[in-house]
């Protein structure tokens, strides 16, 4: 059931029995012309306890500011506060994502937040319109998603969404052959993500693309994926990359130590000499 123009009316905080938003200015009572206004609360001026109390009751007008403050501080109990806000909006946002849902998902920023992100997934499916945000969080936290969600992301017209879907693909049981076309995606960072994902899966077809990417702009994930190809060409290329990008020399040396190839020691010695 799509909400369309009825979205505002269906929002939980617009139900007739809702409490006044904690950030709302006080409204003058009927017949009063001089009722005092309460100054709005500034998130950065709140205590941790106040922030944790306010966030589950956030509204569309203040949820981004509250969410950013929660993200910066991450006080003990932030996960519970975020889950409470998520629960408020379960079942809403069928035709377009709700800001409150997006802000909660934005709090999942890396592997350290896997438990938090999995707790959101465990609360039931989300609407298809929210899947781009879901893919981003899943890629950041390295948590697999249903294959159908990832495949829809791979077909998305927005490059950022395709990139996140590529990063999720292997963990989410998407066949490697499905990723092959993305080595030639018209957007560079999507091609790069596909080369890394396929190299991590041991697909030799990704080697040439990944070599090219790492020569231009190295990254730890890319260099680690490249070093999974234990052959002379890759070992020599790693040495060349270290010389071209000296700031990555220590990472390359670390990887060369783990490569079981006779050329690896020679290249490492040349870099240290």
As a whole number of angstroms, the distance between CA 273 and CA 270 comes to 5
CA distances in angstroms from 253 to 10, 172, 207, listed in the order given: 58, 32, 20
Whether this prediction's pTM lies above 0.85 is answered by no
Least confident of 26-30, 32-36, 44-48, 148-152: 26-30
**What is the model's pLDDT at position 93?**
66
Could you tell me if 78 and 107 are in contact, meaning their C-beta atoms sit under 8 angstroms apart? Answer: yes
Q: 261: which 2 tokens?
A: 């190839």
Q: With 90 as the cut, is the pLDDT of residue 30 above it?
A: no
As a whole number of angstroms, the distance between CA 168 and CA 146 comes to 10
């Amino acid at each position: 059931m799509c909400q369309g123009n009825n979205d505002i009316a269906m929002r939980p905080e617009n139900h007739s029995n809702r409490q006044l938003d904690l950030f709302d200015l006080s409204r003058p009572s009927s017949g009063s012309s001089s009722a005092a206004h309460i100054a709005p609360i500034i998130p950065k001026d709140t205590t941790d306890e106040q922030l944790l109390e306010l966030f589950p009751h956030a509204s569309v007008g203040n949820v981004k500011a509250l969410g950013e403050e929660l993200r910066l501080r991450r006080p003990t109990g932030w996960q519970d506060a975020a889950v409470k806000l998520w629960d408020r909006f379960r079942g809403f946002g069928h035709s377009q994502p709700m800001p409150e849902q997006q802000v909660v998902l934005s709090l999942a920023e890396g592997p350290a937040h896997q438990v938090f992100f999995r707790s959101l997934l465990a609360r039931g499916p989300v609407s298809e319109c929210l899947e781009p945000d879901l893919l981003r969080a899943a890629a950041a936290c390295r948590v697999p998603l249903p294959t159908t969600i990832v495949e829809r992301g791979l077909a998305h017209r927005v490059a950022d969404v395709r990139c996140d879907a590529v990063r999720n693909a292997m963990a989410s049981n998407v066949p490697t052959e499905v990723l092959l076309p993305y080595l030639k995606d018209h957007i560079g960072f999507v091609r790069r993500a596909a080369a890394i994902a396929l190299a991590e899966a041991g697909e030799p077809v990704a080697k040439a693309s990944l070599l090219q990417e790492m020569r231009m702009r190295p990254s730890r994930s890319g260099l680690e994926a490249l070093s999974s190809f234990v052959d002379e060409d890759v070992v020599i290329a790693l040495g060349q990359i270290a010389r071209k990008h000296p700031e990555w020399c220590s990472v390359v040396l670390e990887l060369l130590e783990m490569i079981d190839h006779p050329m690896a020691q020679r290249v490492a010695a040349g870099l240290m000499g």
